[in-house]
């Protein structure tokens, strides 16, 4: 009895799993985001997911963004933070566009601490919260 060969999707998924199993992650640094991500400018907030605007953000992500703006000292309170965001004073950029990873809402600001992790098996690096 002959078994059908795996589909291209199955073969690709298997290859991805093998790379995950073979990975050898090493922590190589813990620094403020602006030191690990030089392309992260002032008044820039990285976020999870594809490019999006304030208007397209869900409630929890909006709340996290306002808190991040306050965390950086760019606004004194939530009202001022929202006014700054709505006026276009904050640049929003996806984490993946700078090879970074953020949990949940994925927000990263210049002074937030990030880990730099190197995969010594495959040679790739990532910065993550």
For residue 87, give the CATH number of its domain. Answer: 1.10.10.660
* 10-residue mean pLDDT series, the chain (129 residues): 75 93 93 92 93 94 96 97 97 92 86 92 84
Helix (H), strand (E) counts: the chain: 4, 6
Nearest to 62 by CA among 44, 82, 41: 82
CA distances from 90 to 14, 41, 44, 64 (A): 41, 10, 6, 14
User: Is 15 part of a structural domain of the chain?
Assistant: no
Range of the domain at 56: 25-128
pLDDT of residue 92: 96
C-alpha span between 119 and 38 (Å, rounded) = 21
C-alpha span between 96 and 102 (Å, rounded) = 9
pLDDT of residue 2: 52
DSSP, res 108:
B
Query: Number of structural domains, the chain?
Result: 1
pLDDT of residue 106: 84
């Amino acid at each position: 009895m002959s078994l059908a060969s795996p589909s291209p999707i199955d073969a690709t998924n298997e290859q991805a799993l093998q790379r995950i199993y073979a990975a050898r992650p090493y922590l190589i640094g813990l620094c403020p985001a602006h030191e690990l991500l030089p392309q992260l400018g002032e008044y820039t907030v990285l976020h999870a997911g594809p490019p999006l605007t304030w208007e397209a953000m869900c409630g929890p992500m909006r709340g996290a963004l306002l808190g991040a703006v306050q965390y950086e000292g760019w606004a004194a309170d939530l009202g001022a933070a929202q006014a700054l965001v709505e006026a276009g004073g904050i640049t929003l950029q996806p984490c993946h566009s700078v090879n970074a990873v953020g949990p949940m809402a994925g927000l990263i600001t210049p002074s937030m601490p990030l880990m730099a992790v190197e995969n010594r098996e495959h040679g790739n690096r990532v910065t993550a919260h």
